[in-house]
A and B are shown apart, each in its own frame.
Chain A
Amino acid sequence: MKRPEFIARLVVGAAVLGAIAVPLILWWRTPLVHAQMAEDGGWNPDALKAAVGVPLQLRITSDDVVHGFAVGKLDIPAVDIVPGKVTNITLLFQDPGTYTFFCTRWCGLNHWRMRGTIEVVGDVAAANPPHERSRPLYTTLGIDLDAPRSAPLTPAEKPVAALEAQQFKDELAGYMSVVYYRSRSPYEVWRELRADPASAARGDSELWNMTASIWRSNTTPQAVAEGEQLFAQNCAACHAEGGAGDGVFADDLAAAGQASLQSMMGDSQMVMQSPARLTDARRMLAASPALLQGKILRGGMGTGMPSWGPIFTEEQTWNLVAYLYSFQFEYR
């Protein structure tokens, strides 16, 4: 072979090999976390590892639409993940455990299932003693989350707490504790008030107002406001901002039905249900805060309602519960 031909072949070979190898090597050396709509796979990878005190640097990109990234129970703001762009995020964990990262944008029908985990290993920092793991109240109370409930009696008008709170202060002294409030449904409280000689003379609507006052006394306007924000970000797509269960995804979920769930979970037993109507007084007045806590933490177990246990802190959950009752009570 003549020398020019040899050199030409060498150049061609180098160019071809370079055009193949260089992108491959660079791609291999730059691992990305890919975000896709849950129907197309969700996060990839969806299981990450980290160590306590060691910054975890993530390079996240979206392969389809705008997603959001946040880590449950970690006090960091959500970050938008833009299609085709790479977003750099650094996380620092103080405690070992399993954290859930999730999408914070309504990216698709199964947005709620777009989650992954970060397994954090290492020692617990001295400054951050492990929180005593307490069982959620609904498990302590042994509440059957799936049992049908319906208040046999509902108020004619939306009970008002704010205006009447002072008026009932003395009468309600025995009803104000957090434990009492969280473990009873509004209807149960109303029934106990009706049976209480101290308030037996009051009319039905007054007793409902007193019940609303008990609910109000166990929260704050700030807590309800935070609950409202959480609801708008995470719940309103299905349950609707007004709580009527007809959010923008409700129809799509109903149309996609079982197939949508099964495509995600591979479980043929799941049955898609319409989002609960939080404005339904019979349903909500029969639900205790502990029951709602359980529904939120555990989710709907195959009904379409996701589990929020790994996402919300305990405080956030109670704030959200407090907000849910605002669909029944005027207490802000």
Chain B
Amino acid sequence: MSRLELTAHGGVKALLKNRYPQLALLVLMLAGYIFAIMAGLIGSPVGSSNFSIVFVWIAWWAALILVAVPVLGRGWCSVCPIPLPGEWLQRGAVLGPNSHTPRWRGIRWPRPLRNIWLQSAAFLLLALFSTILLTSPLVTAIVLAGMLLAAIGLSMAFERRSFCRYLCPVGGFIGLYSQAAPIELRIKNKSVCTECIGKPCYNGSAEGYGCPWDVFPGGLTKNTYCGLCMECIRTCPHDNIAINLRPFGADLEQPAGRLDEAFKSFVMLGSAMIYSAVLLGPWGVLKDAAYRIGSSSWFMYAMAFVAFICILLPGLFALCAAPGGGVRTFRLRFSRMSAALIPLGLTAWIAFSLSFVLTNASYTLVSLSDPLSLGWNLLGTADIAWQPVLTAGLGPAQTLVLAGGVLWSSRVAHRAAAGSRISPVPAMAYCAGAALLLMWLLL
């Protein structure tokens, strides 16, 4: 499959090798992140007027799901501020390696947890409380601060970016969907890595740190666990690391078949469906149950939420994996076939996000003009009335995106089925059915 090496361009390579441009962006992001926490704590409790809600759940989310993930894969992770303070403390330095590295515990992450089950659980947990999370600035601030503190705490106890790799609820789905992105970090020549002494890309050197994501670039075959932090580009003494432009979905050609990743695809697809029903649907009873956290109706909603995602969706899909043979082979087939849900899941989230982002985009101008809800009008846009934008094209755009998702998923299903020597038709029907359900919910 053809690749275009972007780092072959001197300017791009220099930009990525240089620590300062990325650091500048990171510091800016960190300041913005902390500002969002402060705005959530001291700003207006009215979500549509609070910087933390508007910029996290509308602006950032739009940038992430509509642009960053589909185009740049884990591009967001390369500028995400959440692991920074912990990482700086862990290393004892902001810039290059420190000769006096602090003696933190540096424990290896427990082997049974070296997967994305916890990330899926964290996402599910937040999703269950999403109605209050998406509307209450205080709750948003607490969650943002909690993630920052959790990342710091884990950096003190465990080695590298354990939070990002194993716990971050956002990182889990970014990793899953980054397989569909047309950007990848890969080695140029495997034999160079094999012969490389000291493996500075993994262990660090005077030029930079060992991979914070606990990945040996020489073994990278998919985007899922590479956070695009660019350290290996800086540390590789053989200039053997490249950023490539590649066809969309290249990692899905040969799915790895991990059950935790398969489960993640159900979590994401199911969440997109439930969000569409709860947040955009006309069912007052459902909305009410989702908002009344702690009530008996909410517990019913929570049970239905978990059952839909953890039992119904995988259960139906298991039928598509054509039971037969041993449990082990079925499990592998099931996991590999679930890769077909990745394009559909991504497009489902794009379609869902288009709906509420276009509806609520005008809040960003208001919030920019008065970010702390103190009555300012910095940009003269504080009094703009709420106004949905481009809604005339919303339905057709969502239909196109979902139709594209079904076609893409069918293609992945076809290849995965060929590899597992089963019929792709049930999985393709499953994807078509899921897309139709989404269209019904969204349109």
**Is A15 part of the contact surface with B, judged by Cβ < 8 Å?**
yes
Q: Once the chains bind, are B45 and A88 in contact (CB under 8 Å)?
A: no
CB distance from B36 to the nearest CB of A (A): 9
Interface pick from B26-34, B116-124, B422-430: B26-34
Q: Once the chains bind, are B374 and A27 in contact (CB under 8 Å)?
A: yes
Q: Once the chains bind, are B27 and A24 in contact (CB under 8 Å)?
A: no
Instruction: Write out the residue numbers on chain B whose beta carbons fall within 8 Å of the beta carbon of A77.
Output: none
Q: Once the chains bind, are A16 and B34 in contact (CB under 8 Å)?
A: yes
CB distance from A29 to the nearest CB of B (A): 9
**Is A30 part of the contact surface with B, judged by Cβ < 8 Å?**
yes
Instruction: Write out the residue numbers on chain A whose beta carbons fall within 8 Å of the beta carbon of B32.
Output: 19
Cα-based distance from A85 to B372 in the complex (angstroms): 11
CB distance from B135 to the nearest CB of A (A): 12
Q: Once the chains bind, are B30 and A16 in contact (CB under 8 Å)?
A: yes
Interface pick from B88-96, B101-109, B160-168, B332-340: B88-96
Interface pick from B46-54, B177-185, B207-215, B230-238: B46-54
Query: Given A15-B27, A63-B46, A84-B48, A23 and B375 touching (CB < 8 A)?
Result: no
Total interface residues in chain B, CB < 8 Å: 30
| A61 partner, pick from B23, B88, B98, B373, beta carbons under 8 A | B373
**Is A64 part of the contact surface with B, judged by Cβ < 8 Å?**
yes
| B375 partner, pick from A12, A15, A86, beta carbons under 8 A | A86
**Is A32 part of the contact surface with B, judged by Cβ < 8 Å?**
yes
**Is A8 part of the contact surface with B, judged by Cβ < 8 Å?**
yes
Cα-based distance from A4 to B20 in the complex (angstroms): 10
CB distance from B148 to the nearest CB of A (A): 11
| B95 partner, pick from A4, A16, A61, A83, beta carbons under 8 A | A4
Give the A-B contact count at a CB cut-off of 8 A: 78
Q: Once the chains bind, are B38 and A85 in contact (CB under 8 Å)?
A: no
Query: Given A19-B38, A20-B34, A20-B38, A5 and B45 touching (CB < 8 A)?
Result: no
**Is B129 part of the contact surface with A, judged by Cβ < 8 Å?**
no
- A84 nearest CB neighbor, chain B only: B49
Instruction: Write out the residue numbers on chain B whose beta carbons fall within 8 Å of the beta carbon of A23.
Output: 35, 38-39, 42, 372
Query: Given A84-B48, A86-B375, A12 and B30 touching (CB < 8 A)?
Result: yes
**Is A92 part of the contact surface with B, judged by Cβ < 8 Å?**
no
Cα-based distance from A62 to B27 in the complex (angstroms): 34
- A31 nearest CB neighbor, chain B only: B374
Instruction: Write out the residue numbers on chain A whose beta carbons fall within 8 Å of the beta carbon of B44.
Output: 61, 63, 83-84
Cα-based distance from A64 to B50 in the complex (angstroms): 12
CB distance from B81 to the nearest CB of A (A): 10
Cα-based distance from A88 to B374 in the complex (angstroms): 11
Q: Once the chains bind, are A61 and B375 in contact (CB under 8 Å)?
A: yes
Q: Once the chains bind, are B93 and A5 in contact (CB under 8 Å)?
A: yes
Cα-based distance from A26 to B373 in the complex (angstroms): 11
Q: Once the chains bind, are A12 and B373 in contact (CB under 8 Å)?
A: no
CB distance from A36 to the nearest CB of B (A): 8
Instruction: Write out the residue numbers on chain A whose beta carbons fall within 8 Å of the beta carbon of B33.
Output: 19
**Is A59 part of the contact surface with B, judged by Cβ < 8 Å?**
yes
List residues 1-34 of chain A with CB under 8 A from any CB of chain B.
2, 4-5, 8-9, 11-12, 15-16, 18-20, 23-24, 26-27, 30, 32
Cα-based distance from A30 to B373 in the complex (angstroms): 10
Cα-based distance from A30 to B376 in the complex (angstroms): 10
Cα-based distance from A18 to B45 in the complex (angstroms): 22
CB distance from A30 to the nearest CB of B (A): 5
Total interface residues in chain A, CB < 8 Å: 28
Q: Once the chains bind, are B46 and A83 in contact (CB under 8 Å)?
A: yes
Instruction: Write out the residue numbers on chain B whose beta carbons fall within 8 Å of the beta carbon of A83.
Output: 44, 46, 48-49
Instruction: Write out the residue numbers on chain B whose beta carbons fall within 8 Å of the beta carbon of A84.
Output: 44, 46, 48-50, 373
Instruction: Write out the residue numbers on chain B whose beta carbons fall within 8 Å of the beta carbon of A4.
Output: 95
- A62 nearest CB neighbor, chain B only: B46
List residues 69-120 of chain B with CB under 8 A from any CB of chain A.
85, 88, 93-96, 98
| A64 partner, pick from B42, B45, B88, B373, beta carbons under 8 A | B45
Instruction: Write out the residue numbers on chain A whose beta carbons fall within 8 Å of the beta carbon of B50.
Output: 84
Query: Given A4-B95, A32-B374, A63 and B31 touching (CB < 8 A)?
Result: no
Instruction: Write out the residue numbers on chain A whose beta carbons fall within 8 Å of the beta carbon of B28.
Output: 15
Cα-based distance from A309 to B116 in the complex (angstroms): 65
CB distance from B209 to the nearest CB of A (A): 14
Cα-based distance from A8 to B30 in the complex (angstroms): 14
Cα-based distance from A88 to B23 in the complex (angstroms): 42
Instruction: Write out the residue numbers on chain A whose beta carbons fall within 8 Å of the beta carbon of B46.
Output: 62-64, 83-84
CB distance from A24 to the nearest CB of B (A): 7
List, sorted by A's number, 15 A–B pairs whose CB atoms are closer than 8 Å: A5-B96, A8-B23, A11-B27, A12-B30, A16-B31, A18-B31, A23-B39, A26-B372, A32-B374, A83-B48, A84-B49, A84-B50, A84-B373, A85-B49, A86-B375
In the complex, besides A32-B375, A61-B375, 11 extra interface pairs with C-beta distance below 8 angstroms are A5-B93, A12-B94, A15-B28, A15-B30, A23-B35, A26-B372, A59-B375, A61-B44, A61-B373, A84-B48, A85-B375
- Chain B residues packing against A (C-beta within 8 Å): 23, 27-28, 30-35, 38-39, 42, 44-46, 48-50, 85, 88, 93-96, 98, 370, 372-375
Query: What are the 3 closest A-B residue pairs judged by CB atoms, nearest first?
Result: A84-B49, A86-B375, A84-B46
